[in-house]
Amino acid sequence: MTLGDIMKRKKTEEVDKNDEKKAKKGIKAFLEENRIIVWEDYENVYEPGYYGKILNDHLELAFVEALLLLKRGRIKVFSGDKELSFRELYEKACELDKRFPERYRVYEELRERGLLVRTGFKFGCDFRVYDRGVQLKKGPKSQKEHTKWIVFAVPEDYTCSFQELSRAVRLAHNIRARMLWAIVDNENDVTYYQVTRHKP
């Protein structure tokens, strides 16, 4: 065994110990049908980063949000009394959504860039993305506080009709955002394409 191998092994062991410490601290979340619910201490899950949606007395997380928080050690997810691993929760999400691998990869990549990302299902897209440093608030917003991009996450072999593309561009235009297609290739790399509307 070389010195490099020993150093690499030591570093791996340190990372494993850090992951274990983080996992022990995680706030409890529960898988309920196709939702992840946090009942206690949910304010500390919601912020920093504005994860999920606060509803009366609990926080509801999308699977992409829950998986990233689980990976980062901020939550633990239970199904009944059984604690779920990252892989188990990921596989459950994939059963419910055939495009989940692309959605999760794009969500993770955008969050790693330090962007504020919210789900966009009610807007007919995968994600709404805000500029860095934006604080979410209710009521009137300045131009900077509005959604900057709406994002559709798709695999590289995805095909769509011109009507679908047109609807996506029109949606972005209506909310004064830019429309991005996030293409996930077979190596799990993400490439973004912006599609804009031009009038002759």
pLDDT in tens, 102-123: 999 999 999 999 999 999 887 7
Tell me: the pLDDT tens digits for 80-97?
999 999 999 999 999 999
To which CATH superfamily is domain 1-96 assigned? tRNA intron endonuclease, N-terminal domain (3.40.1170.20)
User: In sequence order, which residues have a C-beta less than 8 Å from that of residue 176 and are 6 or more positions away?
Assistant: 143, 146
pTM comes to: 0.79
- What residue segments make up the domains of the chain, in order of their start? 1-96, 99-200
E strand or H helix at 191: strand 190-195
CATH of the structural domain 99-200, one choice from 3.30.450.270, 3.40.50.620, 3.30.1360.120, 3.40.1350.10: 3.40.1350.10
Q: Determine contact, residues 116/68, Cβ cutoff 8 Å.
A: no
